Amino acid sequence: MRVTVLTAVLSTLLASPVVVTPSLAATFIYVSNAEDGDIGVYTLQADGSLKAGERVKAEKLVMPMTVTPDKRFLIAAVRQKPFQAMTFAIDPSSGALKPAGSATLADSYPYISLDKRGRFVFGASYGGHQIGVNPVGANGKVGEPLQVIPTARNAHSIRIDNTNRFVFVPHLGTDQIFQFTFDEASGKLAANTPPVVQMKQNTGPRHLIVSGDNRFAYLLNELTATVTTLALDGGSGLLKELESVSILPPDTKLGPGVPRGAVGTPGANQAPRDTSKDVWAADLHLTPNGRFLYASERTSSTLGGFRVDSATGKLSLIGSTPTEKQPRGFAIDPSGRFLIASGELSSEIATYAIDAETGSLKAIGRYPAGKGANWVEVVAFD
């Protein structure tokens, strides 16, 4: 009798269709709310929607953030005096943040990032025209400044290559990318040879990212809303410009922008004329598989999408997608399936599904955010 019942059960199970849905690791979203002085915590659901959690107190004008490679700590920079880096421990089960210490930063940094081992945090100062290096302890706490290097006008981001040997710093005010070598033992930066790549005049180099294979770098130009593909020599750490493409649709009514004031100073983000029709590009990110690149433009509140040619590094425009008002920051989850965008002038953040074949974006939902929603970080645990 038991054999008969067991046989019947097995037959039913084998005859039933098996539905397999892609699993999503425990994934948490962090959004810095500059004007409220806190960090919003969200959980990314399997369908790309967000479940809002608590908002953790930081300080006003908390803006750029970075996560240590071991995913244990989130570091956030505060852009008003006293300039500081605040460390938060990440709970891997809930995503909750717990304050773990703070330290002095040399200046107001609109961009911070870590070396590949998570032992040093780099900062670029737009108003201070310099870059800085601070050590990071095993407990995630940031130490006092190790190195401060005067550079040129309006340093806007700072990123290391995938070999952990070369660092690049776009400068919006002089249309240059500074090139450094990095000593991971001491944490010190030194000028590469040549120390600077000169870009086209009045383009406004802003953010830079490196491709997964370390063969290319992509530079977003704030004043022209173009993305420049650069070849990266993995041996020398030197960049060479290849081509630039616009993130805006052909029928755009926007024109070239001008440099604006630094956040935290009188006239912040203002220019000496009407800027309502000025290009004002902000952020860019690659999908983890390197197939697609996205960049944000703040005046039109749009996200431009590109297909990436893996052989040549060249970009071809997919299209433009409306998003939250004044999208300074956005991020892509590690699975490459979802994009999360904030808007400095929006009370909500938005999520989009990324089409795996075409790279097009499909809106999923909008969720409450704080005032001045700014920087987005994503952390996924297996």
Half-sphere exposure of residue 325, counting CA atoms within 13 Å on the CB side?
7
Residues 6+ apart with CB under 8 A from 22: 46, 335, 337
Q: Which of 352, 354, 374, 377 is nearest to 363 (CA)?
A: 352
Indicate the pLDDT class of residue 19, thresholds 50, 70 and 90. Answer: very low
Q: Quickly state the pLDDT bin for 23 (edges 50, 70, 90).
A: low
Place of tokens 């097995």: 10
Residue 296: pLDDT over 80 = yes
Q: What is the pTM of this model?
A: 0.93
245 pLDDT higher than 90? yes
In this prediction, residue 24 carries a pLDDT of: 66
118 phi and psi angles, rounded to 5 deg: 75, 20
Peptide bond into 194 cis (omega under 30): yes
Mean pLDDT of 170-182: 98
Q: Measured at the alpha carbon of residue 239, what is the angle toward residues 236 and 243, in degrees to the nearest 5?
A: 150
Q: What average pLDDT does the segment 132-139 reach?
A: 97
The whole-number average pLDDT for the span 66-90 is 97
Tell me the two tokens of residue 288: 């983890």
95: which residues sit within 8 A by CB, 6+ positions away? 26, 28, 41, 42, 43, 53, 379
Bridge partners, residue 322, by sequence: 302
What is the reported pLDDT for 20?
Answer: 42
Q: Residue 9 pLDDT more than 90? A: no
Q: Are 246 and 317 a contacting pair, CB within 8 Å?
A: yes
Give the pLDDT of residue 116: 98
Report d(CA 46, CA 28) in Å as an integer.
Answer: 12
Q: What is the pLDDT of residue 271?
A: 72
Give the pLDDT confidence score for residue 313 in this predicted structure: 97
Task: State the pLDDT at residue 307.
Answer: 98
